[in-house]
Amino acid sequence: MTTLTHAPPSAARLRRLLPASAVQAVTWLVVVVGVLLPIVPLLYASVQDRPIYEAGGVFTVSPYRQLFADPAFWQTVRNTLEFATIATGLSVALGGAAAVACSRTDILGRRVWTKLLLLPILLPPLGVILGWNALYGPGGYATNFITRTLHIPLNLTSVIGMSALGTVVAMPVAFLICQASLANVESSLEDAARSVGARPLRVLSRVIVPMMRPALLNSALLIFTLCIESLGIALILGAPAGNEFVASYLYNTWSNASTIDPGAVSAGAMILLLCAVGLLLLRRVLLGSEARFISVTGRGRGSDKLLELGRIWRPILGVVVALYLLITTFAPILALALQSSVSLLTPLEAPWHLWTAGNWRQLGQPVFMSSIRNSVEIAAVGAVLTTAVVALATTVAHRSTFKLRGSLQFIMMFPRSMPGIIVGIGFFWTFVLVNPPGSALRNSIWGIVLALSIRSLTLAYLVLYPALAAVSSSLDDAARSAGAGWWMTMRRVVLPILRPALLASFILLFVSILNDYDPALFLVTPGHEIMGVTMLDSLKQGSTGPAAALAMVQVAVTVVAIVIGTAVLGRRSRRTHA
C-alpha cells in the first residue's frame, strides 16, 4: 500500500470557530423556550388581580377563588369527566378489539381495515364533527330515522351523545398503540398456547389480552388526557344545548367577556394544564419511559400466523367492521359533502331538489379564500420548521454529549399533553407581554405558525425518535473515527439515514397543523384566519352550508397530502437500514 500521510482533519479548525456545543445549546434553548413560552405568562396571569398588560397588578389567588365559586364551572367539570370516562372506556375497548382482530385473526378485509380504521385521527376533527352533526345531530339527516323508526334514543348534544363521537375520534389512538404492542409479540407464544390444547378464544383471553395490558393502560391514559382538553365537540354540539366542557366553558367565557378579563380563564387553563401534566407523569411512572414511544414502533414483523376465525365468524366480523366504518366515518363525511352541495340538508325533501352550488361559490369570498391559503401556508411552513428543529433536537437529546440533553427528552413530550386552549391563551399573553415582536407576530400568520408548531412538536419527536433509535450508534461512531465532528456526523450520516422518517414527520405535521384550530381561536386577527376558525365563525352565524364546503376542502387537502405522502414513502422505503 502506498502511504499517504494526511494531516489530521482540517475540519478541526472549523470546529473551533463553530463548536458543536454551540449548535446543541442553541437547539436546546429554542425548544425549551418555545415550550415554556405559553406556560409562564399563563401561570403569571392566573395569580394577578388584573389583566397583566395593566400596570400595578398584585399577587392574588382570587381568579382561582372566582372560578371555584362559579357553579357553572363545576357542572362543566362533571360533564368533562363523564365524557372522558365514557369515551376512554369505549374507545380503548373498541380499539383493543379492533387491533386484535386486525393483527391476530384472519378477519375478512384485514389489510383494508388496518388502514381505514385510522382515518378518524387523520381527518380534520371539525369536518368529522360537522359531518356527525349533519347526520345525527338535532334535525340531522338520519336522526329522525334512528329515533322514530329504530327507537334508539339518540341525542348528540347530550354528554352521552358527545361521548359516542369522542369514542369514534379516540378509537384510532387505542388501535395504533395496541396494534404496535401486538406486533412486538411473537406469534409463537400463541402457537405455544395452541399446542398445549387451548382453543382460539381461550388463547385470546388468556394470552393475547393479558399481554396487551400495558398497551391498554397506556392508551387509556393518553385518551383520557386528550378528552379532558376536548374543545370542538362541546363547542359545536353541546354548548348550544347548554352541555359545556371545561375547555368550551373557558373559551366562551373568554370570548363573551365584556372586558378582556381572563384571570379566571387563565386559572381554569392552569388547572387543565396541571391535570394533563399529572396524567403525563402518571403514564411515565406506570409505564416507564420507553412506553411513551410505543405508538410508533409498530414495525414488528407482520405476524405470520393468524388465528382462523372459521367460515362463519370471518365474514361476520368483517361486516361488523365495515358497518362501523360506514356509520362512524364514511356516512358522516358523505353527509358533509351532501350538506355542502344543498341549500338545506333535510330528510323531508330529496337532496337533488335542493341542489345548489351556492355554498361552494361562497368559498370564493376573500375571507374563505384567504383562510384556505393561510391554513395551507401555515401547515407547510410549520411542518418544515418543526421537523427541522425537532430533528436537530432529537439528535441532541439522544446522540450528543450535551450536558442538558436529558431534559430535552422530557420537554419534547410535553406539548402533547398541553391542551390547545392553553397554547392559545398562553401565546396570547406572551405576545402581549413580549412586544416587540409580539404584536408583529399577532398581526401576521407567524404567531399562529409558532403556536401550532410548538403544539405539534411531540408528534415529530414521536416519529423521529424511534427512527433514530433504530440507527445503530456505531454508525456515528464510525463517522467520528473517520474524522468527522458531531455536526458533520449528523449532517452527512445520521440525518440522511433518517430521510424517510423526516418525510413521514413532515406529512404528519402538515396534516396535523392544517387541521388544528383550538390555539388559533385565541390568536387569530382579522385577515389572518385559518380554515378551522372561519368554519366556527360561519357556523356561529348559522351558515352551515359554506362551513361544510370549507370542511370538505380541508378533508380534500388532507387526503391528497396523505396519498402523496404514502406514495413517496412507499417508494423510499426500499433501502434497508443497518
Q: Which residues bind other proteins (CB under 8 A)?
A: 1-12, 472, 474-475, 477-485, 488, 492-493, 496-497, 499, 575-578
Cβ proximity to other proteins: between 322 and 475 the closer is 475
Instruction: List CB contacts of 376: < 8 A, sequence separation 6 or more.
Output: 514, 557
Instruction: Say what angle helices 246-256 and 263-287 make with each other, to 10 degrees.
Output: 160
Residue with cell 396519498: 563
CB of 74 to other proteins, least distance (A): 50
Cβ proximity to other proteins: between 15 and 284 the closer is 15
User: Does residue 517 sit in helix, strand or coil?
Assistant: coil
Q: Does 436 sit behind a cis peptide bond, omega within 30 degrees of 0 on the bond before it? A: yes
Cβ proximity to other proteins: between 478 and 556 the closer is 478
CB contact at 8 A, 510 and 559: no
Alpha-carbon span 422 to 75, nearest angstrom: 20
CB of 406 to other proteins, least distance (A): 17
**DSSP label of 6:** P
Cβ proximity to other proteins: between 2 and 256 the closer is 2
Bridge partners of 342, per DSSP, are 355
Cβ proximity to other proteins: between 10 and 365 the closer is 10
Cβ proximity to other proteins: between 342 and 479 the closer is 479
Cβ proximity to other proteins: between 305 and 572 the closer is 572
Cβ proximity to other proteins: between 78 and 499 the closer is 499
CB of 2 to other proteins, least distance (A): 7
**DSSP label of 417:** G
Alpha-carbon span 491 to 32, nearest angstrom: 23
Cβ proximity to other proteins: between 33 and 482 the closer is 482
Cβ proximity to other proteins: between 31 and 493 the closer is 493
CB of 572 to other proteins, least distance (A): 11
CB of 500 to other proteins, least distance (A): 10
Tell me which amino acid residue 227 is: C
Question: Backbone phi, then psi, for 48, in 5-degree steps?
Answer: -115, 150
* Dihedral, CA of residue 277, residue 42, residue 237 and residue 515, to nearest 10: -80
CB of 578 to other proteins, least distance (A): 5
C-beta neighbour count of 65 within 10 angstroms: 11
Cβ proximity to other proteins: between 300 and 483 the closer is 483
CB of 7 to other proteins, least distance (A): 7
Half-sphere exposure (Cβ direction) of 344: Cα atoms closer than 13 Å: 6
CB of 493 to other proteins, least distance (A): 6
CB contact at 8 A, 362 and 552: no
CB of 19 to other proteins, least distance (A): 11
Nearest to 518, CA basis, from 129, 71, 84: 129
Q: Which grid coordinates belong to 457? A: 412538536
CB contact at 8 A, 154 and 143: yes
Which ranges in 342-485 belong to alpha helices (H)?
A: 358-362, 366-398, 405-413, 420-433, 438-442, 446-469, 473-481
Question: Backbone phi, then psi, for 410, in 5-degree steps?
Answer: -75, -45
User: Does residue 105 sit in helix, strand or coil?
Assistant: strand
CB contact at 8 A, 256 and 235: no
CA angle 506, 214, 324 (to 5 degrees): 65
Q: Which grid coordinates belong to 140? A: 340531522
CB of 17 to other proteins, least distance (A): 15
Q: The dihedral of CA 270, 276, 280, 286: what is its sign?
A: positive
Element (H, E) at 507: helix 499-515
Cβ proximity to other proteins: between 9 and 51 the closer is 9
CB of 393 to other proteins, least distance (A): 21
CB of 503 to other proteins, least distance (A): 13
Cβ proximity to other proteins: between 65 and 480 the closer is 480
Neighbour-count burial of 29, counting CB atoms closer than 10 A to its CB (0-12 exposed, 13-18 middle, 19+ buried): exposed
Cβ proximity to other proteins: between 25 and 322 the closer is 25
CB of 492 to other proteins, least distance (A): 7
Q: Does 437 sit behind a cis peptide bond, omega within 30 degrees of 0 on the bond before it? A: yes
String of DSSP letters for 58-83: -B-SHHHHHHHH-HHHHHHHHHHHHH
CB of 479 to other proteins, least distance (A): 7
CB contact at 8 A, 233 and 310: no
